[in-house]
Structure 1
Amino acid sequence: GAGRNEPSRTTSTYDAEGEIGTGKGTISMRALLHLDADAFFASVEQALDPRLRGRPVIVGGSYRGVVSSASYEARKFGVHSAMPIARAEQLCPNAVFLHGQYSQYEEYSDELFSICRQYAPEVEQSSIDEGVLDLTGTERYHRGRYPKIARHIQATVWKQLEITVSEGLATNKTVAKVASDLKKPNGLVAVPRGTEREFLAPLDLKRLPGAGPVLTRKLADYGIRTVGEFAQLPREWVLITLGKGGVGLHQHANGVDERPVRPTRDPQKSMSHQETFDADTIDTVFVLGVACRGVSMLLTKLRAQGRTARTVGLKIRYGDFQESQSTRSLDEPLDIDPPFYRILEELLPTVWQRRVRIRQVAVTLSNFYTASMQLDLFDENKERMARLYRSVDAIRSRYGFDAVGARGVWTNGRPPRT
């Protein structure tokens, strides 16, 4: 219940009251709060079942074969996200292993960001458990300085949801995101205006958002391992060595990031693809093939965005323009095609119940998650499956989507028989 004592908070020495921003105006006067839920899936499980409080909880398994989320009690044993479940069992045999209740996680996410929108007029949700709030100019309304507002948000989240969030408070997105990750769980790190570059300088380059393993390895070859060392490089050298993308990252390393907060009051919760046939058809194999092709196109986009989906919908339009539709969810979010093909195969007879020709089919994916790991059908095939889809996407990117197909029924919307 809501009466449970709130966990202790960690507040960084960078926390300087009233020095984040002073009101609307220039970029440097902004006050942005990056909020990140701590061990979100595992924390929701502990909130739903108080018997799990204080116990190591590991969410994962099923298709994935890897850890999706590990409570902080489990992390003490070395368990972390994307670790094979078998390894997690070796490190922490007494943990509670759960497949996950993704519909519950989605509800908690909706409630979390509903709370955020009570404190800031502009909230940008970047994933199910992470986002940034623009608090600029809200001090008078909330009758407190920005760090106090941030702590109040933490208290409200705990009171209503019984999960903790870590926060970073700064004048821009990059610094706020980095700060939010430094004092987990339930931490608040505030970076005063004018100290952004100094704050970032001693940190490992891997902490800079956008600095992936390829870039960090390349810079390590030049002896560059911290954000500060990267920031000191001449811009021209960065452009020649890393390209235009590297220049933007170099600017962020210097504590400069002018990207605005883009409100997502109703964040993209679905994507869809539809095909209208040249002639109405009664060919079930063809209709299913077109539906599978559509979902494959959507999954290709999702993989490029580093996201997964849990729910697929199928809608048909009959020749007389009446429509029928249905949706179904996987046990956990995925970004690989076969499980979605199987669901479409099950959905088609449930939506196509009239003995009438079909003129259009549409598929929809929804309930998106950030893909923090490679997904697989079977544990032993994880790497092979990951390589397969990377290869498929690379071929399609170069030669067009239909260069690689499945089910042998890809067409251009033209029924083989009517």
Structure 2
Amino acid sequence: MPIFKVKRDFPSVIILPGDYKSYALYSSKMFDIVRRYADDVEEYSIDECFADLTGLEPPLKMTYLQMAERIKKEVNEELGLSVSIGLAPTKVLAKVASNWVKPNGLTVIETSTAPDFLTKTPIKKVWGIGPKTAEFLTKRAVYTAKDFSMKDISWVRQNLSKPYEAIWRELGGESVMEVDPEVKTVYSSIQKTLTFHPATNDKTFLWSQLSKNIEDACKKARHYELVPKKISIFLKTQNFKIVTCSIPLSVPSNSPEILMALAHAELEKIHTGGVLYRTTGVTLHDLVPGHASQADLFGGTIKADKFDAIHKRIDTLEDKLGKRVVYLASTHTALKHKTKGTESDDLDRDLLFL
């Protein structure tokens, strides 16, 4: 909930400023402690990581459980923090384990014991399965992680996209999601997508969803101080057919107003009357540092600079007051639809590509 809503709804609440420098410092120290025991550590978020301990028992002369216990103990003693640790043969099972006992838990899931844990894990609690996918699965009698893991691979492939096959395999004890120790700071493209229900042919609604895609992608690009040289938009039909088009930019820009002016005409070209669409998406391609754009002959750079100044102020406001305190009018319908319960799939929403 944004801070301004907290203040409005709970006038007596005491709000303290966030100390983000301290958060980052403690986060770095926690990851350093984990790296004492594992070379491959993936910093998943500011307070969460994956570590691959495979093959480290002989050199460290400790069992995997002892390593986890040592990490937990050292984080607590050196940083004064409690942590919950999950120990399992796959990343998805490790997430199930880490959520099992909170706060300050240590849970071990082995391949032989996994079914017991999965039986007690609601499908909506599985890492990577968003609200809409959980709703889709529940309507098909898939209520728990165990129900999902018991489905045949052909059923998974027929009903869900490829990322969910990876989740299915990991729930079964097959490690297919590698721990990625690289800290990503440079990206060649950014993609934002939205899946909604029910599928629709309403062009105004689809445009609002694309508007939200573009706003979110541009905000991410501004965060990394990047601008695209090209963008592409796409629609996915109810039958999972994708129609797309690409748009080169005469002046690289991460201002949504500029990209939307170009995208609107392209939507007219790829939209077909009578066809139901379930997903919209945008990709920012060929990203370069924000200062790398060159002036053009028709004032495009001047216009982009004006929008840049506006969005810097908006980004500052959102950092203080919460997300979407200011947004484009064209995005309003998409946001209104979202508040009714339509949420995009976790694995289909916010992708950064090297």
Shorter-chain TM-score: which interval?
0.5 to 0.7
Q: Which residue of 85, 94, 108 maps to 2:6? A: 85
Query: In the TM superposition, what whole-angstrom CA distance separates every residue of 1:284-318 from its partner, at most 9, and x where no partner exists?
Result: xxxxxx68x33659x99xx989xxxxxxx975799
Give TM-score, length-normalised by structure 1: 0.47
Q: CA deviation at 1:202?
A: 2.7
User: 1:154 deviation in Å?
Assistant: 1.3
Contact kept in structure 1, 2:82 and 2:103, CA below 8 Å: yes
Is structure 2 residue 126 aligned with structure 1 residue 208? yes
C-alpha separation in 2, matches of 1:98 and 1:385 = 33
Consecutive aligned runs of 4 or more in structure 1 exceeding 4 Å deviation: 313-319, 337-340, 383-386
Contact in 2 for aligned 1:169/1:190 (Cα 8 Å): yes
Q: What's the CA shift string for 1:310-369, capped at 9, x where partnerless?
A: xxx9757999xxxxxxxxxxxxxxxxx887433899xxxxxxxxxxxxxxxxxxxxxxxx
Number of the residue aligned with 1:376: 324
Name the amino acid aligned to 2:175: D
- Counterpart CA distance in 2 for 1:316 and 1:194 is 55
Aligned to 2:157: 239
Task: Determine the structure 1 residue equivalent to 2:276.
Answer: none
Aligned counterpart, 2:3 = 65
Bigger CA radius of gyration = 1
Query: Of Structure 1 and Structure 2, which has the larger fraction of its residues in helix?
Result: 2
Distance 1:318 1:237 in 2: 51
- 2:234 paired residue number: none
Matched, 1:342 2:292: no
Aligned residues: 238
Match of residue 254 from structure 2: 294
What is residue 133 of structure 1 aligned with on the other side? 51
Q: d(CA) in 1 for partners of 2:17 and 2:282?
A: 26
Aligned partners of 1:342 and 1:111: how far apart in 2? 32
Contact 1:157 1:164 in 2 (8 A): yes
**Aligned match of 2:95 in 177, 184, 191?**
177
Separation in 1, partners of 2:173, 2:89: 9
Distance 1:208 1:268 in 2: 25
Alpha-carbon deviation of 1:123?
A: 0.7
Matched, 1:263 2:181: yes
- AA matched with 1:294: N
Q: Determine if contact 2:227/2:290 at 8 Å carries over to the other structure.
A: no
Q: Any unmatched runs of 5+ in structure 2?
A: 187-223, 230-250, 261-280, 284-288, 296-307, 339-343, 345-354
- For 2:332 and 2:309, the matched residues in 1 are separated by 15
Whole-Å separation in 2 of the counterparts to 1:144 and 1:240: 44
What is the letter of the counterpart of residue 41 of structure 2?
V
Aligned with 2:77: secondary structure?
helix
Aligned to 2:76: 158
Gaps of 5+ in 1: 1-59, 67-83, 277-289, 306-312, 320-336, 346-370, 395-418
Bigger drift between 212-221 and 139-148 goes to: 139-148
Call closer, same or farther: CA 1:339–1:150 in 2, change over 3 Å. Answer: farther
Closer, same or farther in 2 for the Cα pair 1:136/1:339, shift >3 Å?
farther
- Structure 2 distance, partners of 1:173, 1:198, is 17
Q: 1:111 — aligned with what?
A: 29
Determine what percentage of the aligned residue pairs are the same residue: 28
Change (3 A) 1:100 1:340: farther
For residue 335 of structure 2, what is the aligned residue in structure 1? 387
Structure 1 residue 180: Cα displacement: 0.4
Give the AA of the match of 1:85.
Answer: V
Q: 2:36 is paired with a residue of what secondary structure?
A: helix
CA RMSD in angstroms, aligned pairs only: 4.3
Q: Which has the higher strand share?
A: 1
